[in-house]
Chain A
Amino acid sequence: MHKQAILREKRTVIIFAILAVLLVVSVLLYIYSRTYAKALRLNIVMDKSAFSSIMGRTIPALIGMGAAAVLIAVVSLAFQTITGSRILTPSMIGFDSVFVGTQTVLVFLFSSMSKAFTNPYLNYLIVAGTMVTVSMMMYGSILRSNKNNLVFLLMFGLILSGIVRSGSTYLQVIMDVNDFNQVRAATSVTVNNMNTKIIFIALPLMVAVISIMLARHKIYDVMSLGPDNAKSLGIPYEKEMKFSLFLISVGMSVATALIGSLAFLGLLAVNIARELLKTYKHVYLFIGSAGLAALALIAGQAVVELLQGAVPVTVIIDLIGCSYMFYLILKENRV
């Protein structure tokens, strides 16, 4: 093998090792922040039973955060590959507003007492179904007719989410107070307030989407050469694109329903992974961006807990992500 290739490989290994160490540290920090740090602050003794009872809540939170972060990173990368853009991520096109909209319409039509709203699984299936359908229709039609027209895609998403959002606000205003409170509670899921009721359907779905995408990393490598090259190398591009969009929609619907909107996490993780790893190979990019996303979310959450911050970690991530996106747009336009 050539010297450059060996050097590059070494670099990748070192980056992954550092990432792994940081991840472990942040997990430990998160556990510490919720147990001993809290005990110290409240001046109570951390005995075994208290510890294990807190861990009983901390571990699901960790799994939820980790899985959601990995999922968001993986689908964001796949989305960027099939759209041929480094700026777009699926959440920028208003997934959260479709989520809020569907819940609102459900309650408005059938009231907050109905099975469609109270049964977490049924509710999730309806919401996810709507999100998948809407996004497939949207991406499908735009990507097919206007190849790579990112501005159009962004505008369309902006308008759609604007309409859905104001529509749901309107419905929430005219519905009765109890229904309103229920909708609010159901749609204000965040990292601190995960919708753990759906974990048993969410987790397998997340694992499935992540593993299918990872298993197809070679196909994404070829697709990153562009539609024509991919087709001449034997990739049925339209079919692959539709299938990927389906997976992305499913993934985003799970993530949004489980821990709410994390609009900029994917963008941040994927782009930093690209910068660090300097490769087009999706195996590395998938792993790198997944690790970075999990790190950002868990470490951020640990720091927030340690500092007893009133600001949830998502706000911080969105703030950084948003500035980063500005930077990306300015950088791309400079040339």
Chain B
Amino acid sequence: MIEVKNLNQSYTKHGKKKTLENINLTVKEKAITALIGPNGAGKSTLLGVTANLIKPLSGMVMINGIDVRNIKTDELAKKLAILKQTHNINIRITVKDLVEFGRFPHCGGRLTDIDKQKVKESLEYMNLVGMEERYLDELSGGQRQRAFIAMILAQDTPYIFLDEPLNNLDIKSSVEMMKIIKSLVTELDKTIVVVLHDINFASAYADYIVAMKNGRIAGEGSMEEMITKEVLDEVFDHDFNIVTHQGRNVCLYFDRTFNRRKIYEVI
């Protein structure tokens, strides 16, 4: 179980401007939690602090009742895997080698048959068969994104954090990715926190939705509670239209009349 308690974080010295303010959160086990919120809300920072990559100002994160800062790095890597929003790797590496790195916490780099099997499965899961020997810098953005997610899958941890996994993916791949994420929960009992910018994907696939704004939790709850005009208008400072389709709330975010008038005014 992951619990975040009274968490505060700041990138500035002496904590003048807080990036995270008094965050309290318990991550739902064996479910998909979608983290939504505008740019700069602190979503990535929250994931970073929770994964012990960023130091908090105060408060703590507990995984199965132990403070993350007291868990050895190599132990933590077997519990929690995180896909970062941006991957800046400055080495030239093939897809297969990258995915094999995902096994490092388990085998220290000496791959056993089990590790090789996991790598193979992850590659298959992410539809990367045939691309194993391609270099990452020769792939399209979406293929590269899938390779990184395959590495996370190979890490085979009970907790998985995905920071905008749909980055660079086309619509079909996005839907497939969300299905894969869903199957990780239903078939493999994983606990997943995923940052999503497309609220409709959150609405369609998430079991639980947490919204952030200005470093605080602006609301949390089920799809029905969160995907409403009141909540979303407040979180995103935007005029939403919500319709219901097949029992799920769907957002229409564009407002054509508004845009047209705006452009007209500018001209």
- Note all chain A residues with C-beta closer than 8 A to B101: 221-222, 225, 229, 233
Whether B89 is near chain A, meaning CB under 8 Å from some CB there, is yes
Q: Which residues 228-279 of A have a CB within 8 angstroms of B?
A: 228-229, 231-237, 278
Q: Are B92 and A280 in contact (CB under 8 A)?
A: yes
- Note all chain A residues with C-beta closer than 8 A to B91: 224-225, 280
Whether A2 is near chain B, meaning CB under 8 Å from some CB there, is yes
Shortest distance between the CB of A245 and any CB in chain B (Å):
18
Whether A167 is near chain B, meaning CB under 8 Å from some CB there, is no
B50-76 vs A, Cβ < 8 Å mask (1 yes, 0 no): 011100000000000000000011111
B227-257 vs A, Cβ < 8 Å mask (1 yes, 0 no): 0000000000000000000000000000000
Whether A60 is near chain B, meaning CB under 8 Å from some CB there, is no
Whether A5 is near chain B, meaning CB under 8 Å from some CB there, is yes
Shortest distance between the CB of B232 and any CB in chain A (Å):
31
- Note all chain B residues with C-beta closer than 8 A to A225: 89, 91, 101
- Note all chain B residues with C-beta closer than 8 A to A228: 53, 84
Q: Are A233 and B77 in contact (CB under 8 A)?
A: yes
Whether B90 is near chain A, meaning CB under 8 Å from some CB there, is yes
Whether A312 is near chain B, meaning CB under 8 Å from some CB there, is no
A-B contact count (CB 8 A): 65
Which residue on A lies nearest to B92, using beta carbons? A280
Q: Are B73 and A231 in contact (CB under 8 A)?
A: yes
Whether A197 is near chain B, meaning CB under 8 Å from some CB there, is no
Shortest distance between the CB of A148 and any CB in chain B (Å):
10
Whether A10 is near chain B, meaning CB under 8 Å from some CB there, is no
Whether A49 is near chain B, meaning CB under 8 Å from some CB there, is no
A219 to B107 alpha-carbon distance, docked (Å): 12
Q: Are B74 and A236 in contact (CB under 8 A)?
A: yes
Shortest distance between the CB of A275 and any CB in chain B (Å):
12
- Note all chain A residues with C-beta closer than 8 A to B51: 232
Shortest distance between the CB of A205 and any CB in chain B (Å):
26
A103 to B140 alpha-carbon distance, docked (Å): 57
Shortest distance between the CB of A265 and any CB in chain B (Å):
23
- Note all chain A residues with C-beta closer than 8 A to B109: 218-219, 221-222
Q: Are A222 and B132 in contact (CB under 8 A)?
A: no
Which residue on A lies nearest to B90, using beta carbons? A84
Which residue on A lies nearest to B91, using beta carbons? A280
Which residue on B lies nearest to A225, using beta carbons? B89
Whether B259 is near chain A, meaning CB under 8 Å from some CB there, is no
Given A2-B132, A228-B53, A233 and B105 contact (CB-CB distance below 8 Å): yes
Whether A162 is near chain B, meaning CB under 8 Å from some CB there, is no
Q: Are B104 and A234 in contact (CB under 8 A)?
A: yes
A221 to B104 alpha-carbon distance, docked (Å): 10
- Note all chain B residues with C-beta closer than 8 A to A84: 90
Residues of A in contact with B (beta carbons under 8 Å apart): 2-5, 84, 218-219, 221-222, 224-226, 228-229, 231-237, 278, 280
A-B contact pairs, 21 of them (CB 8 A): A2-B133, A3-B133, A221-B101, A221-B109, A222-B101, A225-B101, A226-B89, A228-B53, A229-B101, A231-B52, A231-B53, A232-B84, A233-B105, A233-B155, A234-B73, A234-B75, A234-B76, A237-B73, A278-B92, A280-B92, A280-B93
